[in-house]
Structure 1
Amino acid sequence: MLLNRNRVSSHFVLGVAVTFACLVQGIGTPPLDAQDSLPARSGGAAVASATDPVVVVTIGSVNKLMQDVNYITGVVGQPQVGGMFAMMAGTFTQGIDMNQPIAVVVPLVNGSPEPIALLPTADVKTVLKRLEAQTGPADELSDGTLVIAVGANTVYIRQLGNWAALARNRELLDLAPADPSSVMEGMGNSYDLAIRLRMQQVPTETRNMLIAQLRQGFEQAIAKQDQADAEGTRAMAESSIKQIEQLIQDTNELKIGWNIDQSAKGIHIDGAFTAVDGSQLAAIYGGQKAIPSQFASVIRDDAAAFYHAAMSIGPEAIEQYIASLETATAAINNAISESDDLNEDQQVEVQALVGRIVDLATSSVKEGKADFGTLLLANEDDFQFVFGSFVADGNEAAQIVKDLAAKLQNEPKAPRFLFDQETYKGVSLHRIEADVPAGEDEARKVFGETLRVHVGTGAKAVYVAVGENSESLMKQLVDSGASDNGGVRPLGQMTVKLLPILKYAQSIETNGTIAAMIDSLATAADQGNVRIVSNSIPNGQDSRITVTEGLLQAIGAAVRQTQQAKMQQNDQF
């Protein structure tokens, strides 16, 4: 189920790469300085063959950027950088509306991406006058279009009310939106930098061309491999191609935004992905809903870190997951068969074990839900870690480990398996022990002379715990399993607090950089937090990554400590 969760989330990242790849499919793009590279508007060809913007990029206003850069450079202890940015911005922004964002829209014209920049200025000639030392004087054409040379390139500029449009060809300026704010919805000054990609604006033939090229690339890569590996690689490649093809054909919109949020004292990175309404990809996302969880108690304010996800899985996602799992299993079994480290009997045994694990994973996902949680508690002296996950048959999970232990019992360095030590509220408790070598000082500081892993198996759950007194923490997770009522909760969420983790690391081995970060966080407003939250939206999913001010201050302290250490080292020589 964790595999399924990561697989669905990867649509977001993969969608970015796929959409940009579609944009660069326009081969044979005319030269930037070719005035006649596109038909004139009077012929209608340039406009008639153009799409709406496939990509929109916005940059926050100059005032917003200066304020945000000043804030963030001050937080990390480098205020001089913010001063330099403000000075440079002031030099080149005369005539620009300092409170309006800047945008670039990219339609496809004759199949090629054609960027059009939109500057917030009521008098673009004033802006160009400021830049004459770099570009030379602007020429003015009969229709009022201005022309400047930027290096070897030619740029055409037209005043459009309180905005100016810039493009590499005069006819492209006809495609500039009359109201630029209409293409910046949810972007603009809401972020320092935002990008929106609309896949369905890419013509079908361009998308099909990309898919064909991807297939050709995979075929060429497979042809270069050893014949023994080719079969498994081909199956994995075909599965990947199908997923990418689905993304190319079914993606509707992808948006990413990066914002320095002074009021919230941190940085936000937002992302949202939606699929075409009625598509299989939309059905996959539509099947994801937050559900009550056995493991919601990992969401704790005193956690050094936790991760929790509990969601339904729709039929479309189940089908896709099982198909991917079957492909991966075939590749694994093929690799086992080709292994020189295992004899024939061992290969059969390992393949049988893999088969049982895959069967358990398959039966679990067929129940139509994913539910798991991880919790880390840490202080200056010790740590506790616990993990819990839903499975279709906890007894089978226990039996798999027992059968594995039986096969390892005669191995001299095998860990010790102690099964069915106790039953706690229907959960069988087991323990796995291994001696930590005497020469491993750091490992002994962490685990002691003996590493103990506590395992619990219930009818529908598996638990794992590591660390001093972690068994009691695992029992707390068991206790809370039936008490969750669900309610309004993200599909997935994760929080990491740096301060307790650093304190524990420092107790294991002292380090000057870690000490500097601890000192910084001791006086910060937060403990150096990173938080990730994912939610379901119609036909898709959105996520937010938040980095708090305390973490930024700690990074700045680490940089300064490193710089000081280098200076001291240089002084010694």
Structure 2
Amino acid sequence: MTSVTREPHRALPRIAGNLFAVPNLNLRSITVNYQMNRLIGSLALLLAFCGVTYGQAQTPATVDGAGEMKPMALLTISGYDELKEDINFLGSLAGQPQLAAQFEPFIMGFVQGLNKTQPLGVVLQTDGMNFAGAICLPIADFATFLKNLKAFGIDSSDAGEGITQISANGQTLFGKQGNGWAFLSMMPQMLENLPADPAKIFSNLSEEYDLGVRANIQNIPEAYRQMLIQNVKAGMDAGMRPMQDESDEQFETRKAMATAQVEQIERMIKEIDEVTVGLSVDNKQQRTFLDIAYTAVAGSKLSQQLAEMADTKTNFAGFFQPNAAGMLMLASKMQESDIAQMQQMFGAFRKQVETAIDKQSDLPSDEAKETAKSAANDFMDAMLATLTAGTMDGGAVLNLTPESLSFVAGGFIGDPAKVESGLKKLAELGKDDPKMPAIKWNAASHDGVNFHTLSVPTPDEEEPRQLFGETVEMAVGIGKQSVYFSLGRDCIATAKKIIEESAANPGKAVAPMEMSLSIGQILKTVATFEPDDETLQMVSAALENETSGRDHVRIVAQPIDNGVRSRFEIEEGVMRAIGVAAKAQQMQAAGAPR
């Protein structure tokens, strides 16, 4: 048996893993662009907001003399006619173009008299002191609506002053008739000061989304926003205790990082104006998408930072290949506050990496561990230099066919020489190990980028050999302000092409973040290796023959007026593939031939 001390190459993957899996490090905040960090904060804020407003709804204020009622939260659902078209579109993808008809008798029996062209929803409003909120249904004949509810075991009675009490299974709602609308709420006081025509405040959401939610953060009374901030701080203080085997220095570092995160949340509560989440089935453009967006308070620091994102450009346009099997583009500027926070985090990051290396039993000596630490510090120096420069610019591309796989990633690096230095130190660790593949330094160059290559034998299996050949070729390219990693057939040639296309299109306008996957290309390759999987074959064939390349899943972050919107989109081909797969599974379960 080969001893551990003779196999330092086994430690290399673990060392690399330590760089990307160290506890207490939010790697996303380092590698993902600015607006995605803010997006995560907005989601957390929205959830906290819902908790605050729901608690207030239980004990509504009744103070007189306040100002104009403003919406704190809206939830909208498209009109029935629009929803029916979307349901039928989804059904058509699975061979059921009249799917909505299966549900219509029950739905219309429950909400008979519903205006099918109008949206419905929920509104929660405040004037700073008093609260109002209700479910808003476009029903002109409230009496007939209440009568129809009896068939479902729901009783109603007159509560006076135009209010109706509605009861079922021990639960109670209160309702009243408006001008073409029926309003339902948990308390009769909540039915006061509601909008006369909810369609007017619903329209911005309902015209774009089948289901939309919007929170107007700055319309939440100041006292409740401060309460939310205090609750966040109290939660941090309650959880900030030293962990087992954690040194005082590590605890203080972790505490400082948590404090910085709480300060960021507090800033978001003060500077985010609106948060919107919307889901739409777009039967006209044959796609489905989910949007998460936020806008900033005018004149705020956040607003100024978002304005800088309105015109993002990349110097790595060669990675922008939306028709590839997979693509990722990042192009944004980091703000000073983010850079300062990342620099603070890196202090803890380095110590955790060094501690993890000290525990590596695969490294044969203290000298080897010091070399590994030095290599890790070089890589972290390169990352920190990139963050300090405030530029996130680069991408990745996956090209895939049943006969070939190639992957290239790269982008701006603040100190590429540190990457090269780290690689050479890792190579030094394994120089005496015959199992360690030899690196060919300066094997090729192109436009100022020097490539170092490595070849490893491909596993003796049909699938990887078909994709990679006899060996898996890898290359790392080091430029003046860039680093590239390439893997697969013709890896250097593929990287060179991306470098050339980038040089030919400097400053190309792109979204701050865009990622896409071609499900058809991926499944076609997988299906080649699984010829006996009938469901997989059916889905792959449907994607190739029926969707004309509309088989992508995309995530795109784009600037909007004084804000950012991130959209998760599924094209028609993917939805059709899901329908084909579901139908095939149903037939298989029923024992029918496919």
Aligned 1:61-140 pairs, distance under 5 A: 61-77=79-95, 81-107=99-125, 115-140=133-158
Mapped partners of 2:245, 2:67: distance in 1: 46
Is the counterpart of residue 244 in structure 1 residue 271 in structure 2? no
Match of 2:542 in 1: 520
1:377-392 superposed matches below 5 A: 377-392=399-414
Aligned to 1:546: 569
1:502 corresponding residue in structure 2? 523
Label 1:131 to 1:5 Cα distance change in 2 as closer, same or farther (>3 A).
same
Counterparts in 2 of 1:488 and 1:515: CA distance versus 1, 3 Å? same
Comparing 266-275 and 292-301, the one that deviates more: 292-301
Unaligned runs of 5+ in 1: 32-36
Whether contact under 8 Å (2:33, 2:392) holds in the other structure is no
Distance 2:46 2:337 in 1: 23
* RMSD across aligned positions (CA): 3.2
- 2:258 partner amino acid: A
Deviations 1:120-144 (A, max 9, x none): 1222222222112235453234422
**AA at the equivalent of 1:10:** N
Secondary structure in structure 2 of the residue aligned to 1:556: helix
User: Higher relative CO (CA 8 A, sep ≥ 6), structure 1 or 2?
Assistant: 2
Question: Among the aligned pairs, what percent are the same residue?
Answer: 26
> Are the structure 2 counterparts of residues 367 and 449 from structure 1 closer, same or farther at C-alpha, using a change threshold of 3 Å?
same
CA distance in 1 between partners of 2:375 and 2:561 (Å) = 40
Give matches, 1:370-381, under 5 Å.
370-381=392-403
Check the 8 A contact 2:66/2:128 in 1, yes or no: no
What's the counterpart of residue 434 of structure 1? 456
Q: Give the C-alpha shift of residue 485 in structure 1.
A: 4.7
Aligned residue type for 1:546 = E
Work out whether 1:470 is the aligned partner of 2:497.
no
| Structure 1: distance between partners of 2:298 and 2:376 | 38
Residue in structure 2 matched with residue 404 of structure 1 by the alignment = 426
SS in 2 for 1:243: helix
User: C-alpha distance in 2, partners of 1:421/1:166?
Assistant: 73
Out of 581, 584, 591, which is 1:558 matched to? Answer: 581
1:532 to 543, 547, 555: 555
- Paired residue for 2:10? none
- Measured in 2, the distance between the counterparts of 1:550 and 1:193 equals 22
CA deviations over 1:202-229 (Å, ceiling 9, x no partner): 3344334334433444444453731427
Aligned equivalent of 1:24: 51
Which residue of 303, 306, 312 corresponds with 2:327? 306
Do structure 1's residue 13 and structure 2's residue 40 form an aligned pair?
A: yes
User: Secondary structure of the equivalent of 1:433?
Assistant: strand
Deviations along 1:269-326, one digit per CA (max 9) or x if unpaired, are 2221122234343344333244442321232354222222223334444334434444
Query: C-alpha displacement at 1:261, in angstroms?
Result: 0.8
Amino acid at match of 1:375: V
* Structure 1 residue identity aligned to 2:570: V
Post-superposition offset of 1:348: 4.1
Q: Indicate the residue corresponding to 2:224 in structure 1.
A: 206
Hey, what's the Cα distance between the residues in 1 that align with 2:425 and 2:298? 47
Q: Is the CA contact 1:23–1:112 (under 8 Å) kept in the aligned structure 2? A: no
Q: Deviations over 1:41-77 (max 9, x none)?
A: xxx5278499733221000111111221121122134
* Aligned positions, number: 560
Aligned ranges for residues 44-59 of structure 1 at < 5 Å? 44-45=62-63, 48=66, 52-59=70-77
Q: Is the 8 A contact 1:236 1:331 kept in 2?
A: no
Q: Contact 1:54–1:197 at 8 Å: present in 2 too?
A: yes
CA shift for structure 1 position 149: 1.1
**Residue 173 (structure 1) aligns with:** 191
| Matches of 1:174 and 1:347, distance apart in 2 | 71
Q: How far 1:517 sits from its partner (Å)? A: 0.9
Contact 2:128 / 2:221 at 8 angstroms: preserved in 1? no
2:287 to 257, 260, 266: 266
**Deviation larger for 403-412 or 217-226:** 217-226
State the shift of 1:254 in Å.
Answer: 0.8
Question: Structure 1 length normalisation: TM-score?
Answer: 0.87
Partner SS state of residue 103, structure 2 = helix
Q: Deviations over 1:395-438 (max 9, x none)?
A: 33222212221122234543432110122221101112223344
**SS of match in other structure, 1:149:** strand
| Equivalent of 1:422 in 444, 448, 457 | 444
Matches within 5 A, 1:152-191: 152-191=170-209
Question: 3-state SS of the aligned residue for 1:277?
Answer: coil
Alpha-carbon separation, structure 2, partners of 1:413 and 1:233 = 40
SS at match of 1:54: strand
User: 8 Å contact 1:22–1:206 — kept in the other structure?
Assistant: no
Pair 410,78 (structure 1): closer, same or farther in 2 beyond 3 Å: farther
